[in-house]
Amino acid sequence: MKQLGKFVIFIGQLFVRRESFRTYMKLVFDEAIKVGYNSIFIVVIVSVFMGAVTTVQTAYNLISPLIADPVIALVVRDMTLIELAPTITAIVYAGKVGSNLAGELGTMRITEQIDALEVMGINATSYLVLPKIVGSILMFPLLVIIAAFVSIYGGYVTALVTGVISGTDYIIGIQMDFIPFQVIFAMIKAVTFGFIVASISAFKGFYTEGGALEVGKSSTNAVTSSCIAILAADFLLAYLLAPLLTL
Amino acid sequence: MIEANNISKSFDGKQVLFDVSAVFQKGKTNLIIGASGTGKSVLLKCIVGLSHPDEGSVYFDKRDFTHANKELQTEVRREMGMLFQGGALFDSTNVEKNVMFPLDVLTKMRYEEKLERVNFCLERVGLENVNKKMPSEISGGMKKRVGIARAIVNNPNYLFCDEPNSGLDPQTSIRIDNLIKDITAEYNITTVVVSHDMNSVLEIGETVIFIYQGKKLWEGTRDDIAASDVRELNDFVFASRVMKELKDSR
Ligand SMILES: Nc1ncnc2c1ncn2[C@@H]1O[C@H](COP(=O)(O)OP(=O)(O)OP(=O)(O)O)[C@@H](O)[C@H]1O
Ligand SMILES: [Mg+2]
């Protein structure tokens, strides 16, 4: 509870005493490259397998003469879009970007770099953390789009290679009963998760106390807390927004 | 001139500073000395506002900094330069960008002007041709000097140094000490240096305060430090045999 209060104050701190807009633009750009571009590789790898496994699994589970083959692809598409692409990618992202971010800020804290900024009269919270959060909110949805695309495409390739369903059925299936709101839903999740990972990890790193050992702990804590928050938010969003899918 | 009035500070119920008052004069190097763990760094942090004193206040040229609003605090801070114990260089950028950093965020200077100023400061601390080196690629003494260059780049009115020569060889120590002293006189800065090195006390201590277990026990200049009759200070100053012999020979 005390942590939560401190977190809220921390987020409030982001918006006071800001530097020039141009300074921020540049920082956000740098961070976006760092968190976005550098995560593409791992996201692609994970997504290929995500699509492949979902396709194979669904194909085996729906092995009934009553269910048409394209439905398998439809299930793959729906699962990927509204659940797997945002959430699994977020977990991976927390592991890569979250730990990195907490480690970076933690190191800056214990080597007095954050103090150095404060003494210069710069609001270290907003200078260091705000660009990371904004960068993450901008880039994570893009990663989710890549993940969804690669994953669905991965499913297609799997279908072709393993022959669990035919390529034509797959293509038909992923176009069946498509609800465009699914994409918006996925993007809402993505923005939320992008914020969660960056803000929680930054918080954990920023308040590191002690030495190198504690920096490691902050990194681990950042990942653990981010993951829990992601799953809780995922549930909450599903509960609030899923009814809108059927409208 | 900086005035610290009746500063007290505790951490988790353990009092670290007891009612410390001191005046740090403009154009002079003012030293805070004392044994390890007596609260020197805490006092310095209270002065620069990285830590908020439980009681007392700090005045920067008559401006109450401790109880100032954010605007005034920022204004005073932008007149400060600080050298941290470990240098506290930003390790993700090179030496040149480190030194240029305060100019980048705090001024509207053109790039060429900034570069000129950076090179001037680096030259002033005796560093040339290291502009493009990363902090991890230079030695501890060089880091300190880059730290000084960064601290003075924006023409501060106040300069703070926490143990500028810990971990350095005697020769480099003296160079850094003298550098701080010269810069202070040259630009008429109010400089506060935390140190436990007797060499620097005698070398640059224009005014000295002695902290013992969180209390200020003595103040004076380097010239009357040897003559003091405060036992704790004597123990501190004449801890080494050489110093003792020096005193006896007088
Ligand atoms: N953030 C903190 N939380 C709790 N205790 C602290 C904190 N900072 C300092 N202290 C305590 O305050 C006391 C004085 O510490 P300080 O760092 O000022 O010593 P110092 O005089 O600078 O010593 P040194 O010469 O070794 O740097 C120590 O007992 C230390 O444990
Ligand atoms: Mg200290």
Domains contained in chain B, CATH given: 1-79+157-222 (3.40.50.300), 89-155 (no CATH)
| Ligand 1 contact, B41 CB (< 6 A) | yes
Q: Is the pLDDT of residue A217 over 90?
A: yes
CA atoms of A114 and A120, how far apart (whole Å): 10
Q: Which residues sit opposite B190 in a β-bridge?
A: B158
Give chain A's radius of gyration (CA, Å).
21
Of ligand 1's listed atoms, the one at least distance from the Cα of B14 is 5
Q: Is B77 on the interface with A (CB under 8 A)?
A: yes
CA atoms of B32 and B30, how far apart (whole Å): 7
Q: What is the value of ipTM here, to two decimals?
A: 0.89
Q: Is the pLDDT of residue B32 over 70?
A: yes
Average pLDDT of the segment spanning A119-141: 93
The share of chain A scoring above pLDDT 90, in percent, equals 68
- The predicted pLDDT at position B137 comes to 94
CA atoms of B216 and B236, how far apart (whole Å): 14
Q: What is the nearest CA distance from A218 to chain B, expressed in angstroms?
A: 19
- B103-146 pLDDT, tens digit each: 988 888 999 999 999 999 999 888 988 999 999 999 988 999 99
* B239 against B209, higher pLDDT: B209
Q: Is the pLDDT of residue A244 over 90?
A: no
The Cβ of residue A15 has, within 10 Å, a number of other Cβ atoms equal to 11
Domain edges within chain A: 19-245
Measured between CA atoms, the residue of chain B closest to residue A114 is: B88
- The predicted pLDDT at position B39 comes to 92
Q: Which two tokens stand for residue A71?
A: 């439905």
Q: Is the pLDDT of residue B47 over 70?
A: yes
- The predicted pLDDT at position B250 comes to 65
What is the biggest distance separating any 2 CA atoms in chain B, rounded to whole angstroms? Answer: 58
- The predicted pLDDT at position B93 comes to 93
Q: Is the pLDDT of residue A17 over 70?
A: no
- B174-225 pLDDT, tens digit each: 888 998 999 999 999 999 999 988 888 888 889 999 999 999 999 998 888 8
Which of the residues A120, A123, A209 would you substitute to probe the B interface, choosing the one with the greatest number of B C-beta atoms within 10 Å?
A: A120
What is the biggest distance separating any 2 CA atoms in chain A, rounded to whole angstroms? Answer: 72
Please give the mean pLDDT across all residues of chain B. 90
Q: How confident is the model at residue A64 (pLDDT cuts 50, 70, 90)?
A: confident
Contact A28, A131 (CB under 8 A): yes
Q: What is the nearest CA distance from A29 to chain B, expressed in angstroms?
A: 16
| Ligand 1 contact, B37 CB (< 6 A) | yes
- The predicted pLDDT at position B140 comes to 86
Contact B158, B134 (CB under 8 A): no
Average pLDDT of the segment spanning B67-85: 91
CA atoms of B174 and A246, how far apart (whole Å): 77
Where do runs of H (alpha helix) occur along B19-137?
Answer: 40-48, 70-77, 95-106, 111-124
- The predicted pLDDT at position A247 comes to 63
CA atoms of A151 and A45, how far apart (whole Å): 9
- The predicted pLDDT at position B80 comes to 93
Ligand 1 pocket check: which of B18, B38, B160, B194 to mutate, most ligand atoms within 8 Å of Cβ?
Answer: B38
Cβ of B80 and A121 within 8 Å? yes
The gap from C-alpha A153 to its chain's centroid, in whole angstroms, comes to 20
Closest-CA residue, ligand 1 atom 7, reads B11
Length of chain A: 247
Contact A88, A50 (CB under 8 A): yes
Q: Which among A167, A128, A168 is positioned nearest to A30, based on CA atoms?
A: A128
Q: Which two tokens stand for residue B76?
A: 């005073």
Cβ of B50 and A115 within 8 Å? yes
| B230: three-class secondary structure by DSSP | coil
CA atoms of A213 and A217, how far apart (whole Å): 7
